[in-house]
Structure 1
């Protein structure tokens, strides 16, 4: 349980409550579950009233379509929170799939005690709600950026829009992206082979350099 406490202390939603509150009021409510690669954590229409803190591993948030195609919405890594966008809704119903892309450990906490003054005080509940609002606002901006990227008509335009946003975020022309090549293709809603071909062509055209998930944006040649 001491390991759990250390993760909770670093959590962006609950860490501000302080070690004593976490230890006495929330830690006794926590449970851990392990998932193997490919195992589903959430499915559409599933009701979820728990927060999941990723202790180890990697979780993909996916939108699946009747055709069998999928679109990657986000990737959660160690320290990521699963369900913060669900537990404060009226229906508590998931609109997406959450799948472990590798062996994963998740620490679950029931959400109800975080939103009602028992065992937390009203002041502590308010602090959690404020932090949740900040997290949801940040996630909403990420969705806005993705819509901006997907509004680009051509594959090259989508790639450049995504890479430009990553460069601006890191304030550097050289940066690593958080996606594998397959995940990037899914995030951009394009074919993986077409993406790989376009990246090579962009490198030949002097627009980028890349090695695996490490990219450098170059000034286009005159």
Structure 2
């Protein structure tokens, strides 16, 4: 296990490699591997462990009764998932947690994370603060997604999302974590309509793109 990688995650921010290694023993840590398209947690399932993604990629996906999918979140290596539902173990998951690539996950007992213990109490308060910060950040991300899907037109939704990514990534060129179908699911639009609108936006000089790479074009003043 790469303890330096774990120490560098947001959850263990401020901990040394040795401290992270010492803490995992009292956090009920379990490492598991999942193949692509494996459903790690199912909607309706009650859980008591949160996950820390070590490698690969995960999507949080809500599927309605007609089979339409909506990507609620995208989990990258070093990020945690399912922490809210693990904290409220009697509340069933409302979405599936799916590996979109072969993935390695470190599961942690959330109650052991939230409770101090004799062997790691000097570092545990920091871990709890980090988890609270992560949960607050995710609430902001959900608010941002609501802002992205509130506009009526596909163009407005795309501009909202890509503008936010440009701000987050610090430039007009951005790389998004979605393929075309996944982007359509995230923005709650049809894939064919999304592709058609992207072509029109490129023709109108608003952006250029190739696969998941986009560049927002700034119109020069006449």
The TM-score, its normalising length taken from structure 2, stands at 0.90
Q: CA RMSD in A?
A: 2.0
Shift of 1:23: 2.4
Distance 2:177 2:134 in 1: 19
Number of the residue aligned with 2:137: 138
Aligned length in residues: 220
Distance 1:27 1:16 in 2: 18
Structure 2 counterparts to residues 49-198 of structure 1, below 5 A: 49-89=48-88, 91=90, 93-119=92-118, 121-122=120-121, 124-198=123-197
Distance 1:120 1:36 in 2: 35
Distance 2:165 2:3 in 1: 32
Residues 113 and 119 in structure 1, CA contact (< 8 A), matched pair in contact too: no
Q: 1:9-41: CA deviations, max 9, x gaps? A: 122112434333332342473222111111110
Gaps of 5+ in 1: none
Distance 1:11 1:85 in 2: 18
Change (3 A) 1:71 1:6: same
Q: 1:163-186: CA deviations, max 9, x gaps? A: 111122223222212211111111
Gaps of 5+ in 2: none
Residues 48 and 89 in structure 2, CA contact (< 8 A), matched pair in contact too: no
Shift of 1:122: 4.8
The TM-score, its normalising length taken from structure 1, stands at 0.90
Distance 2:107 2:37 in 1: 19
